[in-house]
Each structure stands twice: as structure tokens, then as C-alpha cells.
Structure 1
Amino acid sequence: MRSTLVATPRVANNRRLLTWTCSVNLLQSKDWDTAPQFDQDIDKSKFRQFEDARDSVKTFYKEQHERQTVEFNTKVREEMQGNVHARMGIWDAMNMLNTLKDGSDPDTNMSQMEHLLQTAEAIRLDGKPEWMQVVGLVHDLGKLLYFFDSQGQWDVVGDTFVVGCQFSDKIIYPETFAGNPDSNDPLYSSKFGIYKPHCGLDNVMLSWGHDEYLYWVLKDQSSLPPEGLAMIRYHSFYPWHRDGAYEHLMNTADVKSLAAVQAFNPYDLYSKSDIPVNAAELKPYYCDLISKFFPPVIEW
């Protein structure tokens, strides 16, 4: 059964928005969390090798870690409210994103379009549900932020982490936080910081970037299930979903989100290949899939 989309107009911040009230795809899979099969012959040790990463990757993370402060994250969220940068459909957004090279990625120089299609195709190959395939297709579209109000790449790409409390030693290049002023703030550098124990990740600020931006764009403009939105929002949150950081901030709802992100991660990470995909050949299938979960035009 396909999802249905009903557009309901509402007024906010002196502009008309479309809140897409959706019946979530009733074929929500029972198998989204089964072990991946596509990566059985892939050497996983070759991925995320930050110690041997090119200098530009290390320079990127130094800047990101020094500039992602509570002050910045509070301000950027305030500025986002009611701000529409563009109106376009998902496939057009993919084409726009294709001109960006991600300076934080140590694994590949492939185009963004190729990465999105490779991720989605790996998920499809393993017989995962349509909603998870489309999550693979769109998960990095938040990088469009680079073309809008970003100050560079440091506030768009890269691993994410919690701001407002002690920076975890599970974050890559943790020593570079010495240049972040929050490291010297008695409150922001304490274990819980501005948060309460087990407050839930919905109530913390993650470093601003494409994950958080896309989550806020799509949560009211798609029929993706909660697991799909979690995959989008937390897929770059490696200190949490890979290394077990921030358990002291998690609540019970976050346990299911964690399982969803961990189920998605192999497809995002290990599908990267220098073998190109044929976007023109795949477009009809994915445009049909897009129409099941998104309106024709998205407000970005």
C-alpha cells in the first residue's frame, strides 16, 4: 500500500507552509533491521581511516571542532526558523548537490549523486523496504545548506557531536577541541552541561550541519516513519552510534533510534565505491519511489 499525502496549509512566521499530514507507509518493514548482506566481501578496515587521512580532512575537523559552540548553535537554529532558501523537488535537489565535494570524507572523492544512489542501491539489493531505500537516496541532501547560509563546510558536513556539555573523547581528533571556547566554560565542559541526566537526544543540541538541517526540512514534508527520520538525523553522529558515547543523555525512545541508525550505517559507509552508477538508468525507479514519500516540491 502506498502512503497518501494530504496538504494542509498553515501560517507561520508570515509565510504559508505546507504541513504534509501523511499516513505512513503501511508496509513498514519487519526486516529493516536485519543484518546487511551486500557488504560480506568488503574490507571494512579501509573505511574511516582518519589517522592516515589527507591533511585537508584534518584541517576541516580542527576548524569544525573550534567553531561549533553553544553560542553558534543557538544562533543558527534561531536564524533557521521561517527561512525558506529554495523550493524544489528531491531529484532537482540531488542534481544541485552534485557540485559539492565533501571535505570531511577520508574515504572517497565520488560525487554526491553517486554516493546517494550507491547507498540506495545497496539497501535495495538487500531487499530492504522502500522507505529505507528512499532514506538512502536523500540522507545527505542536507548538504544543500552549503549553498544557502553556511559559513563554509565546517557547519555543513563531518561527524556530529553534542554541544553544551563535555566533548566526548570518542569524537575523532578530540585534542582539537582545545581551541573551542566552550572547553574552558565550567558549565559547558561538565559531564551533563546544560542538560539533565537521560533527558533524551531530542532535548540536546547536536553540532549544526546537514543531518539536523535535513531532519527539520523533512519531518513535516514527508511520510517517512520515525526510524527513517532517525537515520537521517543521526547518521553522522558516530561518537554515539558507533562508539557508545552519550548514554548518560539517552532516554528509552533513543534506544530504538540507535537501532535504526546502526541498521542504516553500513549502507551509508560501505557502499562507497569508485565504480560509477548510471543515474539516468536509475532515475525512473527512484522518481517513482520519491513520489510515494514526498510532495512534488519541498521547501528547503
Structure 2
Amino acid sequence: MPSAIRDGRDLDTTSDAIDDVNALRGKLWNEESEFDEGKDKAQFRDYDAACDRVKNFYKEQHEKQTMAFNIKARVDFKNRERVRMSVWEAMELLNTLVDESDPDTSVSQIEHLLQTAEAIRRDGKPEWMQVTGLVHDLGKLLFILGSEGQWDVVGDTFVVGCKFSDKIIYPDTFANNPDIHDPIYSTEYGIYQPNCGLDNVMLSWGHDEYLYNVLKDQCSLPEEGLAMIRYHSFYPWHRENAYSHITNDKDTKILEAVRAFNPYDLYSKSDEPCNPATLRPYYESLIAKFFPSVIEW
């Protein structure tokens, strides 16, 4: 057999094998979660039974997350002096925070990050998704590095600059937000165009948006991983199907990634502690694959 023909056939075989592997990898991350099969999911995000701490948090968030504040927050982010530290150092620094918006658990942040990553790992999801689970809440560092309170760091996110969706948790608590009286911001489309896409709207400022802007140029996570980080708290969209009038085809594609991630963020929460010291070597090896040794936060 002529070598050129043999080489061509070998190349085709190799190419087909690569395609098969890529197809398998593409299927793996979005397969249904298995770790949560025995979970009573009705016990999670039960905001009707939430304590006063949670309800008071959302009242403050919904009153203060205005368009004017969100513009200022982004200007401040661009102009702020960055703190330099590794991913694991950031996890340890965050460990003193208890999220006032979370009705499901009171464990430390590092434990929640490890619980999320370990659930993804147990289900055999790819390394990039495991490390996404590990870092997804590191934007809460904003509370330590400079914020006005937890209301501009944690909690569900939503679109500002148009009418507040009734799919947002505790929608009545927007009554004292001045944007509901604005002749533009109070309309269905507000400052946006129909189906303009989430890349062209402003979400309420918090740890999701902050971390996305920190990492998008400082890591090698795929588009799906960055979407999981940016939109994991955007429950009115990925859980309640709101904002279809301003989303587009790209958003439909990334919605699959955000929904694939959500069970690991939500249903892995437990008040049973894990051991960071035992898990650290494995996750530091993953961190090194996707992040530089020092990140500018």
C-alpha cells in the first residue's frame, strides 16, 4: 500500500477517534447529576420558611440595587487597586464569611466550595467543571476587598435597567427601589432591545459578575465554565424562565451549562463538614491546570 494512502487512512482514523473523544467529553459535562438522587429537593430554596436574616437581606438588596448603583460599581471595579493572591489563598481568606442570603446552610465558604467540587467529581464530570465548582463563589471576596455590604455581593441576581421580573424572589420588596418609578427603567424592555442577549444587559452587581470579570482574562476555563460562574445566581432566568424577551440564541446555548451546574451548587449544601487539608493536594493540582499561580483580584 502506498505510504501516502496509508498515512491518509491513519490520519482519518486518528481524526475519527479524536471526534469520538470530543463528543464524549461534550456529553459528559451536561449529563444529569446523579449525586443528588436521594436528596429531598423541596427542602432547598424554601424562602417562605426562611429566617428573618434572609428576608431582611433581600429587602435591602432589592431597594439598593439600582441602575445608578450598578453603573458606579462597574466604574469602581475598573479603577480599583487589585489584590494579588493565589486561588487557594483566596479560598482561605473567604472562609470567615457566612452568606446572609442563603437559607440552606451556614457552613463556611471553603466547605461549600469543596462540597460543590466534590459532588461534581463524584459524578465523573471533567476537571474544568470540578475546578469551576471549586472557585464559583470566590467573587464573595468582594465583601472583604471592598463593598457596601452583603447586599451588593451575594443573593440571587436579576436584570437592572428594565422592569423587575415578578420571578425574582420576594418581588414585593422592590417597592422602595427608585427605578420602579423611572419612566424608562420601569418598562418591559427598559434601555434594552428585544432579544439583545445577556451580553448586552446589566445584571445586578454581585459576586457572580465580579468573579467573571476577574477571571475571564486570567484563566483557561471553557465558555461553559465562565457561564456557570457568571450566571449561577441568576435564578429568575435559569430556574424560572424569565427574561425570554431579551435573551437570544447564544443564551439558549449557555443556559444548558448553567442548568447542568446548578444541582451541584444547590443540592451539595450540607452542614456536615469536609476536610480541606485532605482535599487540598488534589484541588491545587487542578487549579494549576486552569489558573496562574497568582491572580489579580
Instruction: Answer yes or no: same fold by TM over 0.5.
Output: yes
Would you say the 8 A contact 1:120–1:133 is kept in 2?
A: yes
Match of 2:85 in 1: 88
2:209 maps to a residue whose letter is E
Match of 2:139 in 1: 142
Partner Cα separation in structure 1 for residue 126 and residue 167 of structure 2: 32
Partner Cα separation in structure 2 for residue 78 and residue 113 of structure 1: 29
Q: What are the ranges of 5 or more consecutive residues in structure 2 without an aligned counterpart?
A: 1-21
Match of 2:64 in 1: 67
| 1:29 Cα offset (Å) | 4.0
Match of 1:232 in 2: 229
Match of 1:242 in 2: 239
Highest Rg: 1 or 2? Answer: 2
1:50 aligns with 2:69: no
1:257 aligns with 2:254: yes
Q: What are the ranges of 5 or more consecutive residues in structure 1 without an aligned counterpart?
A: 1-24
| 1:256 Cα offset (Å) | 1.2
| 1:27 Cα offset (Å) | 9.3
Partner Cα separation in structure 1 for residue 82 and residue 107 of structure 2: 26
CA-to-partner distance for each residue in 1:2-54, whole Å, 9 max, x for gaps?
Answer: xxxxxxxxxxxxxxxxxxxxxxx999543110000000000000000101100
Match of 1:33 in 2: 30
Would you say the 8 A contact 1:161–1:206 is kept in 2?
A: yes
In terms of fraction of residues, the more helix-rich structure is 2
Q: How do residues 142-181 of structure 1 correspond to structure 2 at under 5 angstroms?
A: 142-181=139-178
CA-to-partner distance for each residue in 1:189-222, whole Å, 9 max, x for gaps?
Answer: 1000000000000110000000000000000000
Match of 2:17 in 1: none
Which residue of the other structure, out of 183, 186, 189, is the alignment partner of 1:189? Answer: 186
| Residues 27/283 of structure 1: CA separation in 2 closer, same or farther (3 Å cut) | farther
| 1:257 Cα offset (Å) | 1.1
| 1:84 Cα offset (Å) | 3.3
Would you say the 8 A contact 1:29–1:128 is kept in 2?
A: no
Partner Cα separation in structure 1 for residue 186 and residue 231 of structure 2: 22
Identity of counterpart residues, as a percentage? Answer: 69
In terms of fraction of residues, the more strand-rich structure is 1
| 1:187 Cα offset (Å) | 0.5
| Residues 251/28 of structure 1: CA separation in 2 closer, same or farther (3 Å cut) | same
2:41 maps to a residue whose letter is K
Match of 2:13 in 1: none
1:278 aligns with 2:272: no
| 1:83 Cα offset (Å) | 2.3
Which residue of the other structure, out of 75, 93, 97, is the alignment partner of 2:94? Answer: 97
2:80 maps to a residue whose letter is N
CA-to-partner distance for each residue in 1:151-204, whole Å, 9 max, x for gaps?
Answer: 010000000000000000000000000110000111101000000000000110
Would you say the 8 A contact 1:37–1:126 is kept in 2?
A: yes
1:125 aligns with 2:122: yes
Match of 1:218 in 2: 215
Aligned-residue Cα RMSD (Å) equals 1.3
Partner Cα separation in structure 2 for residue 35 and residue 120 of structure 1: 16
CA-to-partner distance for each residue in 1:96-119, whole Å, 9 max, x for gaps?
Answer: 000001000001101000000000
